Every structure is written in C-alpha cells, then in structure tokens.
Structure 1
Amino acid sequence: MSNEPHVVVVDSPYGDSAAARGAAADFLSQHCPWADLDAVLLVVSELVANSIRHTPGWWRLRLTTQNETLVVEMEDASPELPVARPPDFGGGGGFGWPLVLRLAGHVEVGPLPHGKRVRAVWQRSASSSVPSPV
C-alpha cells in the first residue's frame, strides 16, 4: 500500500445514503480491502442518515486511507453533537449512534465553525491482513 493518501468525498447536494454507501464500498475495495466492509458501510449509513434527519443544511462525507488507517468523517451544518438515547422500538430511533461507537475502532466528535465533525477511525490489524496478489 502506498503512503500517499486516498480520498473520496460525497456532498449532500450530490448524494444520499445509497450514494454514500456505494462510494464507500468502491473506495474500500480499491484502497482498504482489509477493512470490515459491513461495519464500515453500517457506520457510513448511520452517519449519513443522522445528518439527513437531524441537520437542516449541508453535509459532507469523506473517506481517507493512509498508512494502514481508514478514516470516515462526516461534517454537517448542525452544531448539536450526537448523544446516545434509549432505543425507541416504535420507530423513533436511538439505535444508530451506539452502533457507530461499537463498530468503529475509535470515534471522535468535535465542533466546526459552522457545524460539527464526527470521525470514525479503523486501524489495520495483523489479523486483517489480506494476502498480496502473486
């Protein structure tokens, strides 16, 4: 794997949850075959869905990989930080944020001048090594 960073970006006017998942799946197959595809796609889906549902404005999803690290960042226009809440089995949500926290290797949340950023990070482990093509 090259030390040069690889990046894909999906912006709100040009994407939705399906577009974000598709871009993430393509990105992982090209640059992070070692990553747990299902876990990353669930995190992407939840971050995009939360931004669409709770943000009255723009959002931007960015996936980056460099030096055995995968970073999924969601920036949006809402200054409200995500919080865990009791699940509502009647359809009111409460399941997504705990999933993000459980599936990602590390999660950071921080304010931006006009919103916030959620960053989920995965490190490649020795057990996730994919054999090199011969």
Structure 2
Amino acid sequence: MAAVREALPEGRYGRSQDERADRKLKIIGSVLGVAFLAMVGWFGYDYVAGQDISAEVIKSRIVSDGLAEAHLEVRKEQDADGHCTLRALSEDGGEVGRADFRFDERTGRIDEVVSLRTTSRATAVELKGCAAGG
C-alpha cells in the first residue's frame, strides 16, 4: 500500500502563504517600531532642549504663621537668568503666599534657601514653575 502524502514537499513550491504573511508582519512591525522610537526621541529632545531652566524644591519648612522657607535648587545654563515662582499652601490647599525669586548668578547651579511671607499658617510650599529672562 502506498503512503498518502498530506502536505506538499518542503521547499519545492516556494514559500507558503503563512511564511509570506509572517515576513510582511515582521517588516511592518520593524518599521513601526523604528518610527515610534524616532518619535519618542524627537519629543524627548524637544522637551529637554526647550527647557532653559529646571528647578525643584528639595525640602520646605514652616517657620511661623506668617513665614515659610523652601530649599530651592535651580539648574540652568551659566549665562541664563530668570525667575522661579513658589507658593505656600494652607491645609485645605488654598494659596496663602506667593513669591517670585529672581536669579542672575553666572553659575550652572543655584542652591538656596528662600523665604515666603504668608497670610496665614502654611502646610506646604510648591514650585509653580521657572522661566528664563525677565
């Protein structure tokens, strides 16, 4: 009795339909992956390059009912000047004090403790943002 063959001989009639589909999916996936990485790189560069000044509040301390202090660290280009805005918040989240702190030192990093006068007791100090220039 002769054996009945169910499938075509391997490699005899070219690639199967599944192999062609797999290859197309791999190519499409690779192209989309490279495009996605390029887009993430572009947005990342644009975000970092667009920020001349970055800052953070290292810690804050409530001195009294009318005064709060914040340890502010600013990183910038050496010849850049600008200002950072801090605000003091009450227990319910309302603003009880706000101040702009200007800097024009010719260093790349400023590490300073600043004081904010408040209208009532603050519970936290928040950095609103920093901007270059006047």
Q: TM-score, normalised by structure 2?
A: 0.28
- Bigger proportion of residues as helix: 1
- Bigger proportion of residues as strand: 2
Q: TM-score, normalised by structure 1?
A: 0.28
